[in-house]
Amino acid sequence: MILGHETSAVVEAVGCEVKHLKVGDRVATEPAVPCERCSYCRSGVYNLCPDIACHATPPYHGTLVKYFLHRAAYAFKVPDSVDNEEAAMIEPLSVAVHSCKRSGVTVGSRVLITGAGPIGIYTLMAARAYGATRVVLTDINEERLKLARELGADQTILVTKELSEEELVAKVKEAFGDGEQPDISLECSGAPSCSRLVLLATKSGGVAIQVGLGPPNVSLPIADAAIREVTILGAFRYKDCFPTAVAMAASGKLNLKALASHRFDFKDCLEAYKVAKSGAGMKVIIKVTE
Ligand SMILES: [Zn+2]
Protein backbone atom coordinates (compact mmCIF):
# COMPACT_ATOMS: atom_id res chain seq x y z
CA MET A 1 0.00 0.00 0.00
CA ILE A 2 1.53 3.30 -1.11
CA LEU A 3 0.65 6.14 1.28
CA GLY A 4 0.27 9.87 0.62
CA HIS A 5 -2.82 12.03 0.19
CA GLU A 6 -1.71 15.55 1.15
CA THR A 7 -0.03 16.34 -2.11
CA SER A 8 1.28 18.98 -4.42
CA ALA A 9 2.59 18.05 -7.84
CA VAL A 10 3.80 19.40 -11.18
CA VAL A 11 1.78 18.55 -14.29
CA GLU A 12 3.84 16.36 -16.59
CA ALA A 13 1.19 15.67 -19.25
CA VAL A 14 -2.52 16.40 -19.82
CA GLY A 15 -5.31 14.72 -21.76
CA CYS A 16 -6.43 16.32 -25.03
CA GLU A 17 -9.64 17.72 -23.51
CA VAL A 18 -8.04 19.30 -20.46
CA LYS A 19 -8.32 23.05 -20.82
CA HIS A 20 -7.51 24.44 -17.35
CA LEU A 21 -4.08 22.89 -16.90
CA LYS A 22 -0.91 22.71 -18.92
CA VAL A 23 2.43 20.98 -18.63
CA GLY A 24 4.54 22.61 -15.92
CA ASP A 25 1.62 23.92 -13.85
CA ARG A 26 1.96 23.32 -10.14
CA VAL A 27 -1.17 21.85 -8.58
CA ALA A 28 -2.72 20.76 -5.30
CA THR A 29 -4.50 17.45 -5.85
CA GLU A 30 -7.85 16.70 -4.23
CA PRO A 31 -7.26 13.05 -3.34
CA ALA A 32 -10.83 11.77 -3.33
CA VAL A 33 -12.43 11.44 -6.76
CA PRO A 34 -16.16 10.59 -6.66
CA CYS A 35 -18.22 8.66 -9.24
CA GLU A 36 -20.11 11.79 -10.39
CA ARG A 37 -23.20 9.65 -11.15
CA CYS A 38 -24.84 8.59 -7.85
CA SER A 39 -27.52 10.57 -5.99
CA TYR A 40 -24.96 11.95 -3.52
CA CYS A 41 -22.73 13.22 -6.32
CA ARG A 42 -25.67 14.63 -8.24
CA SER A 43 -26.98 16.48 -5.18
CA GLY A 44 -23.60 18.04 -4.43
CA VAL A 45 -22.50 16.02 -1.42
CA TYR A 46 -19.90 14.09 -3.36
CA ASN A 47 -17.81 13.51 -0.23
CA LEU A 48 -20.50 10.97 0.74
CA CYS A 49 -20.28 9.08 -2.57
CA PRO A 50 -20.10 5.34 -1.80
CA ASP A 51 -17.84 4.81 -4.82
CA ILE A 52 -15.37 7.59 -4.08
CA ALA A 53 -11.75 6.66 -4.83
CA CYS A 54 -9.30 8.30 -2.45
CA HIS A 55 -5.53 8.29 -2.51
CA ALA A 56 -4.03 6.06 0.17
CA THR A 57 -7.41 4.57 1.08
CA PRO A 58 -7.55 0.84 0.23
CA PRO A 59 -7.67 -0.38 -2.46
CA TYR A 60 -6.32 2.85 -3.94
CA HIS A 61 -2.65 3.71 -3.71
CA GLY A 62 -1.42 7.11 -2.55
CA THR A 63 0.81 9.72 -4.10
CA LEU A 64 4.21 8.97 -2.61
CA VAL A 65 5.50 8.10 -6.07
CA LYS A 66 7.33 9.93 -8.84
CA TYR A 67 4.34 9.93 -11.19
CA PHE A 68 0.62 9.41 -10.69
CA LEU A 69 -2.44 9.74 -12.90
CA HIS A 70 -5.19 12.04 -11.62
CA ARG A 71 -8.57 13.30 -12.87
CA ALA A 72 -7.90 16.85 -14.07
CA ALA A 73 -11.04 18.30 -12.45
CA TYR A 74 -9.57 17.38 -9.06
CA ALA A 75 -6.23 19.10 -9.66
CA PHE A 76 -6.10 22.78 -8.72
CA LYS A 77 -3.46 25.09 -10.09
CA VAL A 78 -1.71 27.15 -7.41
CA PRO A 79 -0.30 30.64 -8.11
CA ASP A 80 3.39 31.54 -7.79
CA SER A 81 2.72 32.97 -4.34
CA VAL A 82 1.93 29.47 -3.04
CA ASP A 83 4.99 27.23 -2.92
CA ASN A 84 4.99 23.43 -3.16
CA GLU A 85 4.97 22.88 0.60
CA GLU A 86 2.02 25.21 1.07
CA ALA A 87 0.25 23.58 -1.86
CA ALA A 88 0.55 20.21 -0.12
CA MET A 89 -1.26 21.75 2.86
CA ILE A 90 -4.31 22.68 0.77
CA GLU A 91 -5.76 19.24 1.54
CA PRO A 92 -5.82 19.52 5.36
CA LEU A 93 -6.79 23.19 5.05
CA SER A 94 -9.78 22.01 3.00
CA VAL A 95 -10.83 19.77 5.91
CA ALA A 96 -10.86 22.91 8.07
CA VAL A 97 -12.75 24.96 5.47
CA HIS A 98 -15.40 22.23 5.21
CA SER A 99 -15.96 21.93 8.96
CA CYS A 100 -16.19 25.73 9.36
CA LYS A 101 -18.68 26.01 6.48
CA ARG A 102 -20.71 23.04 7.69
CA SER A 103 -20.90 24.26 11.29
CA GLY A 104 -21.70 27.81 10.23
CA VAL A 105 -18.63 29.68 11.52
CA THR A 106 -19.14 33.30 10.49
CA VAL A 107 -18.41 36.88 11.45
CA GLY A 108 -18.62 37.18 15.23
CA SER A 109 -18.62 33.45 16.00
CA ARG A 110 -17.14 32.36 19.31
CA VAL A 111 -15.36 29.11 18.60
CA LEU A 112 -13.91 26.29 20.69
CA ILE A 113 -11.48 23.89 19.01
CA THR A 114 -10.45 20.74 20.87
CA GLY A 115 -7.06 19.46 19.70
CA ALA A 116 -4.15 21.65 18.55
CA GLY A 117 -2.69 19.15 16.09
CA PRO A 118 -2.47 20.07 12.40
CA ILE A 119 -6.25 19.87 11.78
CA GLY A 120 -6.99 21.90 14.92
CA ILE A 121 -4.48 24.57 13.87
CA TYR A 122 -5.77 24.71 10.27
CA THR A 123 -9.28 24.98 11.73
CA LEU A 124 -8.10 27.91 13.86
CA MET A 125 -6.82 29.60 10.68
CA ALA A 126 -10.02 28.89 8.75
CA ALA A 127 -12.28 30.03 11.63
CA ARG A 128 -10.33 33.30 11.80
CA ALA A 129 -10.63 33.72 8.03
CA TYR A 130 -14.39 33.19 8.30
CA GLY A 131 -14.60 35.98 10.86
CA ALA A 132 -14.64 34.23 14.24
CA THR A 133 -13.98 36.84 16.91
CA ARG A 134 -12.91 34.52 19.70
CA VAL A 135 -11.11 31.22 19.20
CA VAL A 136 -10.01 29.01 22.12
CA LEU A 137 -8.05 25.77 21.70
CA THR A 138 -7.49 22.88 24.09
CA ASP A 139 -4.76 20.25 23.99
CA ILE A 140 -2.69 18.05 26.28
CA ASN A 141 0.54 19.38 24.75
CA GLU A 142 1.73 22.84 25.79
CA GLU A 143 4.11 23.12 22.81
CA ARG A 144 1.19 22.78 20.42
CA LEU A 145 -0.84 25.30 22.40
CA LYS A 146 2.08 27.74 22.21
CA LEU A 147 2.04 27.40 18.42
CA ALA A 148 -1.74 27.90 18.44
CA ARG A 149 -1.31 31.17 20.35
CA GLU A 150 1.41 32.31 17.94
CA LEU A 151 -0.94 31.56 15.04
CA GLY A 152 -3.85 33.55 16.43
CA ALA A 153 -5.65 31.66 19.20
CA ASP A 154 -7.08 34.12 21.72
CA GLN A 155 -6.63 31.68 24.56
CA THR A 156 -5.59 28.08 25.10
CA ILE A 157 -6.42 25.54 27.78
CA LEU A 158 -3.92 22.87 28.77
CA VAL A 159 -5.81 19.68 29.56
CA THR A 160 -4.22 17.65 32.36
CA LYS A 161 -5.16 14.40 34.10
CA GLU A 162 -5.76 16.33 37.32
CA LEU A 163 -8.64 18.33 35.80
CA SER A 164 -12.12 16.85 36.25
CA GLU A 165 -14.63 17.15 33.42
CA GLU A 166 -16.60 19.73 35.41
CA GLU A 167 -13.44 21.77 35.98
CA LEU A 168 -12.61 21.63 32.29
CA VAL A 169 -16.07 22.84 31.28
CA ALA A 170 -15.69 25.65 33.82
CA LYS A 171 -12.31 26.58 32.30
CA VAL A 172 -13.86 26.76 28.83
CA LYS A 173 -16.64 29.04 30.11
CA GLU A 174 -14.02 31.17 31.84
CA ALA A 175 -12.06 31.44 28.59
CA PHE A 176 -15.08 32.93 26.80
CA GLY A 177 -15.75 35.34 29.67
CA ASP A 178 -18.85 37.13 30.97
CA GLY A 179 -20.90 33.97 31.29
CA GLU A 180 -20.46 33.25 27.58
CA GLN A 181 -19.88 29.88 25.95
CA PRO A 182 -18.78 28.89 22.46
CA ASP A 183 -21.42 29.23 19.72
CA ILE A 184 -19.64 26.51 17.77
CA SER A 185 -17.26 23.79 18.97
CA LEU A 186 -15.12 21.82 16.54
CA GLU A 187 -13.73 18.54 17.85
CA CYS A 188 -10.39 18.01 16.08
CA SER A 189 -8.56 15.54 18.35
CA GLY A 190 -10.41 12.24 18.08
CA ALA A 191 -10.16 11.90 21.88
CA PRO A 192 -13.40 10.58 23.47
CA SER A 193 -13.07 13.06 26.36
CA CYS A 194 -13.11 15.90 23.81
CA SER A 195 -16.23 14.53 22.08
CA ARG A 196 -17.88 14.83 25.50
CA LEU A 197 -16.39 18.26 26.24
CA VAL A 198 -17.71 19.87 23.03
CA LEU A 199 -21.26 18.78 23.91
CA LEU A 200 -21.01 20.00 27.51
CA ALA A 201 -19.22 23.29 26.77
CA THR A 202 -21.15 24.55 23.73
CA LYS A 203 -23.84 27.09 24.55
CA SER A 204 -27.50 26.06 24.46
CA GLY A 205 -28.69 26.14 20.86
CA GLY A 206 -25.10 26.02 19.58
CA VAL A 207 -23.35 23.60 17.28
CA ALA A 208 -20.82 20.85 18.03
CA ILE A 209 -19.13 19.17 15.07
CA GLN A 210 -17.07 15.99 15.16
CA VAL A 211 -14.07 16.37 12.83
CA GLY A 212 -11.52 14.13 14.57
CA LEU A 213 -11.82 10.38 14.29
CA GLY A 214 -10.96 8.27 17.32
CA PRO A 215 -12.53 5.06 18.64
CA PRO A 216 -15.78 4.08 16.83
CA ASN A 217 -17.87 4.05 20.02
CA VAL A 218 -17.87 6.79 22.64
CA SER A 219 -20.09 7.46 25.69
CA LEU A 220 -21.68 10.90 25.29
CA PRO A 221 -23.74 13.19 27.60
CA ILE A 222 -26.57 13.03 25.10
CA ALA A 223 -29.40 14.11 27.45
CA ASP A 224 -27.60 17.33 28.34
CA ALA A 225 -27.03 18.06 24.64
CA ALA A 226 -30.67 17.24 23.80
CA ILE A 227 -32.36 19.39 26.43
CA ARG A 228 -30.04 22.30 25.60
CA GLU A 229 -30.65 21.80 21.85
CA VAL A 230 -26.99 21.50 20.92
CA THR A 231 -26.86 20.53 17.26
CA ILE A 232 -24.48 17.61 16.76
CA LEU A 233 -22.86 17.35 13.32
CA GLY A 234 -20.47 14.99 11.60
CA ALA A 235 -17.86 16.05 9.06
CA PHE A 236 -16.13 13.96 6.43
CA ARG A 237 -13.29 15.31 4.29
CA TYR A 238 -14.61 18.20 2.13
CA LYS A 239 -16.69 19.01 -0.90
CA ASP A 240 -15.75 21.79 -3.25
CA CYS A 241 -13.39 23.32 -0.68
CA PHE A 242 -10.09 23.21 -2.60
CA PRO A 243 -10.74 26.43 -4.57
CA THR A 244 -11.45 28.29 -1.31
CA ALA A 245 -8.38 26.79 0.38
CA VAL A 246 -6.16 27.71 -2.59
CA ALA A 247 -7.50 31.28 -2.48
CA MET A 248 -6.87 31.46 1.26
CA ALA A 249 -3.29 30.25 0.80
CA ALA A 250 -2.78 32.68 -2.08
CA SER A 251 -3.97 35.58 0.08
CA GLY A 252 -0.71 35.30 2.04
CA LYS A 253 -2.61 35.87 5.27
CA LEU A 254 -2.16 32.35 6.62
CA ASN A 255 1.14 31.14 8.00
CA LEU A 256 0.80 27.62 6.60
CA LYS A 257 4.58 27.15 6.72
CA ALA A 258 4.51 27.32 10.50
CA LEU A 259 3.24 23.74 10.54
CA ALA A 260 6.08 22.29 8.44
CA SER A 261 8.24 20.88 11.21
CA HIS A 262 10.36 18.34 9.31
CA ARG A 263 11.55 17.86 5.74
CA PHE A 264 12.89 14.68 4.14
CA ASP A 265 14.03 13.52 0.71
CA PHE A 266 12.13 10.67 -0.95
CA LYS A 267 14.97 8.24 -0.18
CA ASP A 268 14.59 8.93 3.55
CA CYS A 269 10.86 8.11 3.67
CA LEU A 270 11.23 5.54 6.41
CA GLU A 271 12.87 8.08 8.68
CA ALA A 272 10.10 10.56 7.86
CA TYR A 273 7.44 8.07 8.91
CA LYS A 274 9.30 7.29 12.12
CA VAL A 275 9.31 10.99 13.00
CA ALA A 276 5.60 11.30 12.14
CA LYS A 277 4.75 8.23 14.21
CA SER A 278 6.71 9.54 17.20
CA GLY A 279 4.37 12.54 17.36
CA ALA A 280 7.31 14.97 17.22
CA GLY A 281 6.54 18.18 15.37
CA MET A 282 3.52 18.77 13.17
CA LYS A 283 3.71 18.26 9.40
CA VAL A 284 6.46 16.06 7.98
CA ILE A 285 7.17 16.94 4.38
CA ILE A 286 8.60 14.43 1.89
CA LYS A 287 10.02 15.80 -1.32
CA VAL A 288 9.81 13.39 -4.24
CA THR A 289 12.49 14.15 -6.84
CA GLU A 290 14.03 12.42 -9.84
ZN1 LIG B 1 -21.06 9.20 -6.47
Shared domain check, 115 and 196: yes
Per-residue pLDDT for 281 more than 90?
no
* Position 131, amino acid: G
Query: What protein residues have CB closer than 5 angstroms to ion ligand 1?
Result: 34-35, 38, 41, 49
Shared domain check, 138 and 200: yes
248 Cα to the center of ligand 1, angstroms? 28
239 Cα to the center of ligand 1, angstroms? 12
45 Cα to the center of ligand 1, angstroms? 9
238 Cα to the center of ligand 1, angstroms? 14
Contact 85/285 with Cβ under 8 angstroms? Answer: yes
Shared domain check, 132 and 171: yes
CATH number of the structural domain spanning residue 269: 3.90.180.10
Shared domain check, 230 and 108: yes
27 Cα to the center of ligand 1, angstroms? 24
Mean pLDDT, the chain, integer: 97
Provide the pLDDT for residue 179: 85
Shared domain check, 132 and 214: yes
**How many of the other CB atoms lie within 10 Å of CB of 190?**
18
**pLDDT tens digits for range 16-60:** 999 999 999 999 999 999 999 999 999 999 999 999 999 999 999
C-alpha span between 32 and 127 (Å, rounded) = 24
CA 246 to chain CA mean position, Å: 14
C-alpha span between 120 and 151 (Å, rounded) = 11
Q: What is the pTM of this model?
A: 0.96
Residue 212 β-bridge partners: none
Averaged pLDDT, 52-71: 96
Burial of 164 (0-12, 13-18, 19+ CB in 10 A): exposed
Structural domain harbouring 262: 7-92+239-287
Shared domain check, 102 and 87: no
- Does residue 148 form part of some domain? yes
